[in-house]
Amino acid sequence: MREVNPKQTSRAYAFEMWMNAPMPMVTFFKTLNVSKLVRVSRRTGLKFNMLMCYCIGRAASKIKEFYLLPVGDKLMQYDSIAVNTIVANRDSEVSSCDIPFTNELEEFNQSYLHLTQKVADSCINHDLNDSMVIGTSALAKYEIDGAVGMYSGVFNNPFLIWGKYRRSWFATSLTVSFQFHHTQMDGAHASKFLDGVQCEINELKI
């Protein structure tokens, strides 16, 4: 992680326009076809949430804007990304767990299982301060149509929220919300990312 001069990046105009905006966050909604993830999860025993996080990481890793993030009044450049998940811990509360992203599904799965179990047992968050972290929150027991994340003014990280997937005769769908800081990316980047998540789901090989 290192500070960069916004004027020497493609986000120069966005930095000037949005860094001091009272509400710089934008939220998009998209309904994904997750039929393949459901089938893979049932066939292999891999967790559906892990597969979602993996596809999110894959899609984000191909978009350079995900490696930039406004932190405080600075623009920071990262060399790696991570995907965060919320974990139900042994105290019946929730803890936060950052999972380093890797293109290797087996490696990502092992990190996911190890770290989420560690966080669940210890009730201590696992934070990766040297990676650009994509937040996620899965309300898998509940049918929701969408959610708009909270802007605290402290964390500017991109964030996805989803609830329970819905089955129909022809497909299984999942509506996700994606919140991002306008300094980090524009709507076109966000749309490309969400399309990328669908592509990663469709092209998952296992």
Q: Would you list the domain boundaries of the chain?
A: 2-6+25-80+92-203
**pLDDT for 160 beyond 90:** yes
Tell me the pLDDT tens digit for each residue of 69-93.
999 999 999 999 999 999 999 999 9
pLDDT of 89 = 96
Alpha helices in the chain (DSSP H): 12-18, 35-44, 48-61, 105-122, 187-203
CB 49 within 8 Å of CB 85: yes
Grade residue 149 by pLDDT with cuts at 50, 70 and 90: confident
Q: How many CB atoms neighbour CB 179 within 10 A?
A: 21
Grade residue 131 by pLDDT with cuts at 50, 70 and 90: very high
Biggest CA-to-CA distance, the chain? 52
C-alpha to C-alpha distances, 101 to 44, 79, 107, nearest whole angstrom:
21, 11, 9
Q: Categorise residue 45: left if φ over 0, alpha if ψ from -120 to 50, beta otherwise.
A: left
**pLDDT for 154 beyond 80:** no
Cα end-to-end distance, the chain, whole Å? 33
- Ordered DSSP codes for 152-172: -SS----EEEE---EE-SS-E
CA 177 to chain centre: 10
Would you state the structure tokens that stand for residue 83, as one six-digit string? 């995907």
pLDDT of 151 = 78
Grade residue 186 by pLDDT with cuts at 50, 70 and 90: very high
Tell me the pLDDT tens digit for each residue of 54-70.
999 999 999 999 999 99
Report the percent of the chain where pLDDT is more than 90: 90
Q: Which helix (H) or strand (E) holds 68?
A: strand 68-71
pLDDT of 157 = 96
Q: Looking at the domain covering 2-6+25-80+92-203, what would its CATH class be?
A: alpha beta
pLDDT of 150 = 74
pLDDT of 148 = 84
145-153: average pLDDT = 80
pLDDT of 169 = 87
| pTM recorded for the entire structure | 0.96
CB 94 within 8 Å of CB 88: yes
Strand 25-33 to 172-181 pairing: antiparallel
Mean residue pLDDT of the chain comes to 96
